[in-house]
């Protein structure tokens, strides 16, 4: 089980960013996203994308992060620009363990730094939790998420020109 | 010169996403972002981050995308979930050429698909233009952006516990 814990989502301000975090979690091979803020609309949105594009990705919102962290039996990673080097940290993670990846919005309280087994930076420049999560999962799965099959109602066929989409009704361009 | 062309930014809705796109462009080694929508606030924001964290990253807003594309002398890549496979496409790009990377917001008109030398997908699942740009630049630079020196007023030292920051005034934790 690989879960992403999205902490500190601010309704309105972070709406689109949290949606991108959830979609990256799904596309890059995580099993679940837990958003600490109660947020039905994002749940509906992600569930509808999952129905269309396939896979068993789960979403939960309105959860106490401390409860999740206390009950977690596997490894806990916190992605932060202040964290330790990516490659060095990755080599220490036991991949047979369940993994909880904490992704904060703005200011993250010390509790999360202290609870994590690994505070990991994806570069030490300010950029984006969406990009940090993508790069972390890409490295964790050694790029294998790129060929993951989701078996959805819609399948996109890679193409250099135009859009090639296979839907349940047949093929259309 | 590696430039990112952010097309179709909708004020309000895409504010934070476009900021993340710009910060990823900078942190992952691009030289410039061109945002087609006129947008002074994001320009000030990114310029202020550059002053603090260093580097020569440039930002331009309110530019006609067709003019940029017509005048571009190097390779043009358009990142889209409908595009061709990442690794396959990357191997065809001449890295001695200037590179323009088009990153759309929502619906991208056919003109952009047609103008690009390469329409490239970072996986064929819906996720995020922020993640797509990050993974593309990561692969393009073979991970070397991670150790790029920006020589800013602030430097963050990788650390597994706590925050280690060197500022012009000296070291503080």
Compute the average pLDDT of residues B128-138: 97
Chain B residues near residue A4 by CB distance under 8 angstroms: none
Q: Exposure of A141 by Cβ count < 10 A (0-12 exposed, 13-18 middle, 19+ buried)?
A: middle
What pLDDT digit, counting tens, does each position of A72-102 carry? 999 999 999 999 999 999 999 999 999 999 9
Instruction: Establish if B155 belongs to a structural domain.
Output: no
Question: Which among B45, B125, B133 is the top mutation candidate for probing chain A, defined by the most A β-carbons within 10 Å of its own β-carbon?
Answer: B125
What pLDDT digit, counting tens, does each position of B17-44 carry? 999 999 999 999 999 999 998 889 999 9
How far is the alpha carbon of A77 from chain B, nearest alpha carbon, in Å? Answer: 10
Dist. CA B30–CA B22, nearest whole Å: 9
Instruction: Answer yes or no: do A161 and B26 touch at CB < 8 A.
Output: no
Instruction: Establish if B158 belongs to a structural domain.
Output: no
For residue A100, what is the domain's CATH number? 3.40.1280.10
A144 in contact with B, Cβ within 8 Å: no
Where in the sequence is the domain holding B66, given as residue range(s)? 2-146
How far is the alpha carbon of B133 from chain A, nearest alpha carbon, in Å? Answer: 8
Q: How many domains does chain B have?
A: 1
Predicted local distance difference test score (pLDDT) of residue B105: 83
A85 in contact with B, Cβ within 8 Å: yes
pTM of this structure: 0.95
Dist. CA A115–CA A100, nearest whole Å: 11
Compute the average pLDDT of residues A137-148: 93
Chain B residues near residue A124 by CB distance under 8 angstroms: 155-158
Please choose, from the candidates A107, A108, A151, A101, the residue with its C-alpha nearest in 3D space to the C-alpha of residue A122.
A101
**Count of Cβ atoms closer than 10 Å to residue B76 Cβ:** 20
Instruction: Establish if A173 belongs to a structural domain.
Output: no
Please, are residues A129 and A30 in contact by the beta-carbon 8 Å criterion? no
Q: Which of A79-93, B127-141, B148-162 has the lowest mean pLDDT?
A: B148-162
Question: Which among A83, A103, A107, A124 is the top mutation candidate for probing chain B, defined by the most B β-carbons within 10 Å of its own β-carbon?
Answer: A124
Dist. CA B82–CA B166, nearest whole Å: 43
Dist. CA A78–CA A85, nearest whole Å: 12
Dist. CA B112–CA B102, nearest whole Å: 8
Instruction: Establish if A88 belongs to a structural domain.
Output: yes
Instruction: Establish if B65 belongs to a structural domain.
Output: yes
How far is the alpha carbon of A147 from chain B, nearest alpha carbon, in Å? Answer: 7
Instruction: Establish if B165 belongs to a structural domain.
Output: no
Q: What is the largest CA-CA distance in chain A?
A: 52
Instruction: Establish if A157 belongs to a structural domain.
Output: no
Of residues B131 and A107, more confidently modeled? B131
How far is the alpha carbon of B19 from chain A, nearest alpha carbon, in Å? Answer: 9
Question: Which among A123, A142, A166 is the top mutation candidate for probing chain B, defined by the most B β-carbons within 10 Å of its own β-carbon?
Answer: A123
Report whether pLDDT(B81) > 70: yes
Predicted local distance difference test score (pLDDT) of residue A147: 87
Instruction: Establish if B166 belongs to a structural domain.
Output: no
Predicted local distance difference test score (pLDDT) of residue A169: 59
Q: In chain B, which residue's Cα lies nearest the Cα of A127? A: B23
């Amino acid at each position: 089980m690989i879960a992403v814990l999205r902490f500190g989502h601010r309704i309105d301000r972070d709406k689109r960013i949290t949606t991108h975090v959830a979609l990256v979690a799904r596309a890059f091979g995580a099993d679940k996203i837990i958003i600490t803020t109660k947020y039905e609309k994002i749940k509906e949105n992600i569930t509808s994308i999952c129905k269309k594009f396939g896979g068993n990705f789960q979403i939960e919102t309105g959860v106490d992060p401390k409860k999740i962290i206390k009950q977690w039996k596997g490894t806990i990673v916190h992605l932060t620009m202040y964290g330790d080097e990516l490659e060095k940290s990755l080599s220490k993670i036991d991949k047979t363990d369940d993994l909880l990846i904490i992704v904060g919005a703005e200011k993250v309280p010390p509790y999360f730094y202290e609870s994590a087994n690994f505070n990991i930076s994806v570069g030490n420049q300010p950029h984006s939790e969406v990009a940090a999560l993508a790069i972390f999962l890409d490295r964790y799965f050694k790029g294998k998420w790129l060929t993951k099959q989701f078996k959805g109602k819609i399948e996109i066929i890679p193409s250099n020109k135009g859009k090639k989409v296979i839907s349940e009704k047949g093929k259309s361009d």
